[in-house]
Structure 1
C-alpha cells in the first residue's frame, strides 16, 4: 500500500472549470498542490466547442496521472440556464473519467467544502483561498475557481481522514 494518495478535484462550470491535482502524504498527514489549472471558454463559441475544450484539458490531466480519488464540487445555481451548463460539463467529465476507467467519484457541496476548510460554511471565496494556505502554503491561483478546486481536494482528504 502506498503512503501517498493522489486526488483530482474539479470545480466544474462551462465558463471556467478548474482542476487541482493534490498529493496527500498519509504518514505526515500533509497535502500539497502538484498542479492547478483552469479552462477559460469563450461564451461566444458553441456549447459543443466549449465542451470540447474542457474535454481536451481533462484528458491531458488524466493521461499524465493515475488518481486514487476524484472529487467534484457539487454544482448548483439559482438560475436554470447556469445549472444546465454545469450539468452538461459534469456529464462530459463523468463520461471522460469513465472512458479512463475511473468510476469511483465523490461530490462535496460548496458549503461543506467551506465548513471543512475554514470552519464556516458561509465563508467567502476570498476567505476560503486564505484558509487554504494553512494546508498547502502559498499558491498562485489564477482564478477563484482554481482555489475552489484545491479547497475541494482538501475537504475530501479531511473527510477520508487522510489529513
Structure 2
C-alpha cells in the first residue's frame, strides 16, 4: 500500500498453528496451497479476490467510499473486496505478513463452520464432504492458475505505479 495509492487492500498469509490430526493437516495444506497459490498469482495483476478478515489491511478512505462492511453479508470480507475491485482499486498480497490461526480439529466442527447451520447435517455424507471439498478446490485452483504458472504473467497485466530500484 506504500507503493501505490491505487491499492485499497492487502491480504496477509494465515498459517494453521494446530497441526495434529488429519483434519487439521488437510486444512493446513488447503490454506498453504490454495490461498498461497491463488493470492500470489492474482497479486501479479493487482486483483486479489479475497482480502480476508483474518489478516487484511484496508485503506480506510477506499472502504468508506464503497460503503464499508455490509453486516448483513455472511462473507463480508469477500463482498467488500469485490466492491473495492469493482470501484477500480487494486488489491495485493503480502506473503510475509503472517498470522497464526486455529482451525477445527474434528469433522463436525469443520462442517458447522463451512456450511449454513440451517442445513440438517444428517443429509450430508460427512466422511465424503472434506475430501470432496479439498479435491474440488485444489482442481479449481490448479486449472484456473495453470496458464499463468506455466507461461508466467502477461506483461500488460502487471502495473507498477512507482519505479522499482534495486538499492
- Higher Cα radius of gyration: 2
Scaled by the length of structure 1, what TM-score is found? 0.23
Which structure would you say has the larger RCO, counting Cα contacts within 8 Å and 6 or more residues apart? 2
